Amino acid sequence: MLKYVGLRLVAVIPVVAFVVVAVFLLLHLAPGDPAALIAGENASPQQVALIRARLHLDEPLLAQFWMWLAHLGTLDLGNSIFSNQPVARLIAQRIEPTLMLAIATTVLTVLFAVPAGVFAAWKSGSTLDRGVMLMSVSGFSIPVFVIGYALIYVFAIQLHWLPVQGYKPLAGGLWPCLRSLLLPSIALALLFSALVARVARATVLEILSEDYIRTAQAKGARTPRVLLLHALKNAGVPIVTVIGLGFASLIGGMVVTESVFNIPGMGRLTVDAIMHRDYPVVQGVMLTFSVVLIVVNLLVDLSYSLFDPRIRYRGK
């Protein structure tokens, strides 16, 4: 088991290295002078020079990179050009809404998509199955902001059940916070469920034709027991994998959803930073999101051994 964990950790190193280099180089990929790009079109030469000096853009590229790495080592992501605050602090301030949204969405997705997929596979070919698959293909096809505005229109503007936009911090109580996140997390969960329900259905469908399912049924195990204990447990690895892989599109979806619902999270921070050409913030946010994504997928890899002991023993 320890060897398995070790191998996984080592495999992550080159990926993290690539992300760090790519995010650093991003600013230098643009044609022309990065300082002029950040300053904008109407900047005076003095302003451009000031930005160049502040971001050390006048140093050689390699020296800049080492400086950036050294700062990263102390979790220093530089300062925002726009507000002059440390990027790490800006991210820390915005992390709560995004984290809450991610948790709410994942919980909703798992509660909805996994049973939907299992039932669709069990009643394969039925109306229910077709309904689940239609929902899945729609989730892939409707942009998350269109779903978001449709939900706002129905539940906030027409029915007045829920607030139109905004976020209530957790400090003000769990219920108001969850209420403010209900519509955005439903919008995101529809997107995420499309992926998860489809994989859950496909995997369970395949497992249901296995010999051990027939054996279980022949021995008189009741349907819920067969579905939950025999089928779903063995479908665990693909389902958890797709949740990990889907996290990338979930992060993209959160950036959009936070803009639609006016949630002051990391997604909004990203969009605002792009608008202000605040590249230290953009780099910081991209790096943070990427590291989160890598860690989530690492945890997914490690969780395999919970579902499938063969993986645990293979590492020995």
Partner 1 sequence: MAPAPASGPGLATTVPAPRRVAFRRPGAAVIAGVAVLGTLVVIAVVAPLLIHDYVSINTGARLLPPGSEHWFGTDHLGRDIFDRTMVGSRNSLVVGACVALATTLLGVLFGLVAGYFRVVDSVLMRAMDGMMAIPGVLLAIALVSLLGGGLWTVIVAITVPEVPRTARLVRSVVLTLRELPFVTAAISVGTSTPKILLTHILPNAVGALTVQATYVCASAIIAEAVLSFLGVGTPPDIPSWGNVMAVGRQYFQLAPWIIGFPGVLLSVLVLAINTLGDSLRDRLDPHLARRSGL
Distances (CA, A) of 40 to 28, 47, 124, 146: 16, 10, 57, 32
Residue 161 in contact with partner 1, rule: CB under 8 A: no
Q: Does 231 bind partner 1 (CB under 8 A)?
A: no
CA-CA distance, 137 to 103, in Å (whole number)?
Answer: 23
User: Is 252 an interacting residue with respect to partner 1 (CB under 8 A)?
Assistant: yes
Between the two ends of the chain, the Cα-to-Cα distance in Å is 7
By CB under 8 A, is residue 95 in contact with partner 1? no
Contacts of partner 1 in 199-228 (CB under 8 A): 201-202, 205-206
Least distance between partner 1 and beta carbon 265 (Å): 14
- Both tokens assigned to 52: 């160049």
Q: Are 39 and 57 in contact (CB under 8 A)?
A: no
Placement of tokens 């995997």 in the chain: 203
Distance from C-alpha of 279 to C-alpha of 84, rounded to nearest angstrom: 12
Nearer to partner 1, 170 or 302 (CB): 302
State the burial class of residue 94 (Cβ atoms within 10 Å of its Cβ: 0-12, 13-18, 19+).
Answer: buried
Regarding 271 and contact with partner 1 (CB under 8 A), the answer is yes
- Interaction mask 34-53, partner 1, x per CB under 8 A: ---x----------------
The answer to whether 251 contacts partner 1 (rule: CB under 8 A) is yes
Query: Residues 5 to 34: which contact partner 1 by CB under 8 A?
Result: 14-19, 22-23, 26-27, 29-31
The residue to which tokens 């669709």 are assigned: 120
Distance CA 109, CA 103 (A): 10
- Rule CB under 8 A: say whether 293 interacts with partner 1: yes
Query: Residue 150, interface with partner 1 (CB under 8 A)?
Result: yes
Q: Smallest distance, Å, CB 31 to partner 1? A: 7
Give the contacts of 168 (CB within 8 A, at least 6 positions apart).
176, 177, 179, 180
Question: Taking a C-beta distance cutoff of 8 angstroms, is the pair 144, 188 a contact?
Answer: yes
CB of 245 to partner 1, least distance (A): 9
Question: Which residues are CB-contacts of 274 (< 8 A; sequence separation ≥ 6)?
Answer: 282
What are the DSSP calls for 104-149, one per residue? Answer: HHHHHHHHHHHHHHHHHHHTTTSHHHHHHHHHHHHHHHS-HHHHHH
User: CB of 252: closest distance to partner 1 in angstroms?
Assistant: 3
149 binds partner 1 (CB under 8 A): yes
**Does 65 help bind partner 1 (rule: CB under 8 A)?**
no
Task: Select from 71-79, 86-94, 216-224, 247-255 the region that touches partner 1 (CB under 8 A).
Answer: 247-255
| Residue nearer to partner 1 on the CB measure, 121 or 177 | 121
Amino acid at 31: P
Smallest gap, in angstroms, from Cβ of residue 23 to partner 1? 7
Q: Which of 53, 103, 164, 229 binds partner 1 (CB under 8 A)?
A: 164
Which one of the spans 52-60, 181-189, 277-285, 305-313 is the region binding partner 1 (CB under 8 A)? 277-285
DSSP conformational letter for 221? -
Least Cβ distance, residue 8 to partner 1 (angstroms): 13
The token pair that represents 141 in the structure block = 């096809």
Q: Footprint of partner 1 on this chain (CB under 8 A)?
A: 14-19, 22-23, 26-27, 29-31, 37, 120, 133, 136-138, 140-146, 149-150, 152-153, 157, 164, 198, 201-202, 205-206, 248-249, 251-253, 255-256, 259-260, 270-271, 274-275, 277, 282, 285-286, 289-290, 293-294, 297
